[in-house]
Amino acid sequence: MHQGIPLHYFLIVSTLMFFIGIFGFLTRRNLITILMSIELILNSVNINFVVFNRYLFPHKLQGHFFSMIVIAIAAAEAAVAIAIIINIYRNFRSIEVGKVDEMKH
């Protein structure tokens, strides 16, 4: 295929990255590392879009721009999340996710 690298290779990488991100989300106890896991997830999605665009549908730039938008949104999300995390830190004096469970049941 393109430049000798099969499409599936990219997809395997991105899929693994996606699930590693999810694993991180599920297991890290620190809110910021959870946020980083999300970045991993979004990054893997970006790879997908880009690769599909390049390999399969190069006649348009849909995947490409999708990735761009995702990057921008990831930034926005991170901004708000970090703002809230700082707020949490002020309120809880900790950014341990386990401690943020005042509301339950």
Binders in 78-97 for other proteins, by CB under 8 A: 78-92, 95-97
Which residues in 3-42 contact other proteins (CB under 8 A)? 3-5, 7-13, 15-42
Q: Which two three-digit tokens encode residue 34?
A: 């959870």
Amino acid symbol at 62: Q
In the window 49-78, what residues touch other proteins (CB under 8 A)?
Answer: 49-52, 54-78
Least Cβ distance, residue 42 to other proteins (angstroms)? 6
Please state the closest distance from residue 70 (CB atom) to other proteins, in A. Answer: 6
* Residue whose entry in the numeric block shows the structure tokens 């989300």: 25
Backbone φ and ψ of 30, nearest 5°: -100, 130
Minimum CB–partner distance for residue 82 and other proteins (Å): 5
Distance of closest approach, residue 10 Cβ to other proteins, in angstroms: 8
> What gap in Å lies between CA 100 and CA 90, rounded to an integer?
12
Query: If we measure between CA atoms, which residue out of 24, 19, 77, 73 comes closest to residue 48?
Result: 19
Residues touching other proteins: how many (CB under 8 A)? 98
Sign of the torsion angle spanned by Cα atoms 89, 94, 97, 102 = negative
